[in-house]
Structure 1
Amino acid sequence: MAAAACGLLTLALAGCYTPDGARLSAQVAQSAPAGAPVAAAVERLTSDGFRCDTQGLAPEIDCSRSRQGALLYACIERVILQPDAAGRTVASLEIPPIACAGL
């Protein structure tokens, strides 16, 4: 019985979020690559669960999402889009380190 309970716990925890910067970078490179239209990049990131601040005074667009871990911690994933001078296409993007905090 204890072995079955441990097996179920392992399966439950296997589906939980684990911070992975390489995975995030790959996902963002596919969703919002440099050269993509800004509106399309923001739309794709939003559909991936990010909230993007397009109303700020800064020229860059800050997108973030919160991810919950299994052991009472949460992580914030961020993407900063830098539009070109005309503001139409993504000139570059920055992916800061994933920030996590917990009890």
Structure 2
Amino acid sequence: MTDSGLLIIGDVVTDVVALHGSPVRSGTDTAADIMLRPGGSGANTAAWAACLGAEVHLLARLGYDSSEWHTTELVKTGVHPHMVVDPRPPHGRRDRDGGPQR
């Protein structure tokens, strides 16, 4: 690691992306192609910085269900991941104050 590297501490999540072939209409089920993509503001920032030539290290916590996939995708973009894998079951719920519910 050089003295000019960038350390990002942030989130790594799976984004669900819906691509609609027609306008979304209220009260209906609009057909869409649904895709899962690696994401999260910390991971996205790290990946873009690495693509622009920076030496980037990302410190994050991952769910065990997708940790290998996210780590592999980050390495492909040139990010040096430093991950802690959470062994608890994954979920997307938040408690009343906006923090993760455990």
TM-score range, shorter chain: under 0.3
Higher helix proportion: 1
TM-score of the aligned structures, taking structure 1 as reference length? 0.25
